[in-house]
C-alpha cells in the first residue's frame, strides 16, 4: 500500500493546442498531481532526501508545460507523467491537465483530462 502526495492547482502558461492562435498566443493550463509514494522512511528520518521534493517537482512540471508546444492535452499529460516518474520513489502518478480557456463555442467551466501511469508500466 502506498501513500498519496497531492499537489493541486499548479498554474502554468503554455502554447499547446491544435489551432494556430493557441500556439501563438498561449493560455493558462492548471495541473493537479497525485503521486503514489511510500513515505515511511521520510517520516522516520525527517529528511527531505528520503522523499519526493515536491517543490522541485513542481518546477520540473512547470518547465515541461512551458516548453515545446504540442497539439493535444493527452500528449501534455503524458509528458508530465513522465517527469513525475523520473523519481524511482514515485510508484504511480495521476495527472490532471485542466484547459479552462479551451476554444469551445459554448459556455463551460473547464476541460480536463486525467491519466494514471505507473513506474515500469503505462497504467496503474
Question: Mean pLDDT, to the nearest integer, of 15-26?
Answer: 95
Query: Closest Cα to residue 12, out of 82, 92, 77?
Result: 77
| Band (122; pLDDT cuts 50, 70, 90) | very low
In sequence order, which ranges of the chain are alpha helices (DSSP H)?
20-25, 40-45, 54-66, 73-84
pLDDT at 124 over 90: no
Share of the chain above pLDDT 90, in %: 92
pLDDT at 121 over 70: no
Q: Find cell 512551458 and name the residue.
A: 66
Q: Which CATH class is domain 3-103?
A: alpha beta
Per-residue pLDDT, 1: 73
Active site residues: 99
| Burial (0-12, 13-18, 19+ Cβ within 10 Å), 80 | buried
pLDDT at 4 over 70: yes
Amino acid at each position: 500500500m502506498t501513500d498519496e502526495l497531492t499537489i493541486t492547482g499548479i498554474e502554468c502558461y503554455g502554447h499547446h493546442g491544435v489551432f494556430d492562435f493557441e500556439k501563438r498566443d498561449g493560455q493558462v493550463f492548471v495541473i493537479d498531481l497525485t503521486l503514489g509514494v511510500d513515505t515511511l522512511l521520510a517520516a522516520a528520518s525527517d529528511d527531505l532526501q528520503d522523499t519526493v521534493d515536491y517543490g522541485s517537482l513542481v518546477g520540473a512540471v512547470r518547465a515541461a508545460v512551458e516548453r515545446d508546444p504540442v497539439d493535444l492535452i493527452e500528449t501534455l499529460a503524458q509528458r508530465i507523467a513522465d517527469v513525475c516518474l523520473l523519481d524511482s520513489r514515485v510508484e504511480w502518478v495521476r495527472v490532471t491537465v485542466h484547459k479552462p480557456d479551451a476554444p469551445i463555442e459554448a459556455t463551460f467551466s473547464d476541460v480536463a483530462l486525467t491519466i494514471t501511469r505507473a513506474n515500469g508500466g503505462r497504467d496503474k
